[in-house]
Amino acid sequence: MADRHPLFKPLILVGGLIFGFGLGFSHMARPEVVLNFLQFEDLGLVFVMFGAATVTGIAFAVMPRIREGAPLTGDRYERRLKPFDRNVVIGGAIFGVGWGLSGICPGAAYASLGVGNVTILWALAGMFLGAYAQGVWRSKTTGTDPATAGAD
């Protein structure tokens, strides 16, 4: 990918900065606030997820109609569609137990480090261990992986 546009990484960095600032501002970088949502003590998280999804939704709906491809990559503007199979439900359930236990998800964990939460390194270490374990396990079971690409 050496032929990428020189502004590719700077733009990714700027996007990440806004993304991380938003996670900090919304207090999603605080596990306590996520746990309060899951225990119905403060439902504010709904506004974070749907506020964010509304903004992306507009871009995903509009851009493919007004431009052929993205200026920095030439990639076509498409929506984020992943094939459905039972892994979505199984993985979602495992993620749900982890999220409910810790109050932390990947993006929010990186942001948590940024707001000064050094204790979050425990969660980050856990995430890398988990991602590594599933990678090792799934490369052993490759071939039996159900690649049933259903309609999204």
Partner 1 sequence: MVADLLAVQVAAELFPNGVSRYAVGGLLVGLGAVVIYLGTGIPVGASTFLESTLSYISDRRRFQQYVASRDWRVVFTLGIVLGAALFAATVQSGVVTTSLYEPGTTGQLYEVAGVTLWSTDVQPWRLFFGGILVGIGTRVGKGCTSGHGVCGVGSASKTSLVGVVTFILVAIGTAQLVSALGVSP
Which residues within the stretch 34-93 sit at the binding site for partner 1 (CB under 8 A)?
35-36, 38-60, 63, 69-73, 75-84, 87-93
Q: In the window 82-141, what residues touch partner 1 (CB under 8 A)?
A: 82-84, 87-120, 122-136, 138-139
CB of 21 to partner 1, least distance (A): 4
- In angstroms, rounded to a whole number, what is the distance separating the alpha carbons of residues 73 and 65? 18
Residues 6+ apart with CB under 8 A from 24: 111, 114, 115
Q: Is 148 in the site for partner 1 (CB under 8 A)?
A: no
CB 114 within 8 A of CB 20: yes
Whichever of 65 and 152 has its CB closer to partner 1, that residue is 152
Structure tokens at 98: 């982890």
Least Cβ distance, residue 144 to partner 1 (angstroms): 14
φ, ψ dihedrals at 20, nearest 5°: -70, -40
What is the pattern of x (binds partner 1, CB under 8 A) and - over residues 1-30? x-----xxx-xxxxxxxxxxxxxxxxxxxx
Q: How many CA atoms lie within 13 A of 17 on its CB side?
A: 6
Q: Return the residue of 3, 33, 146, 148 that touches partner 1, per CB under 8 A.
A: 33
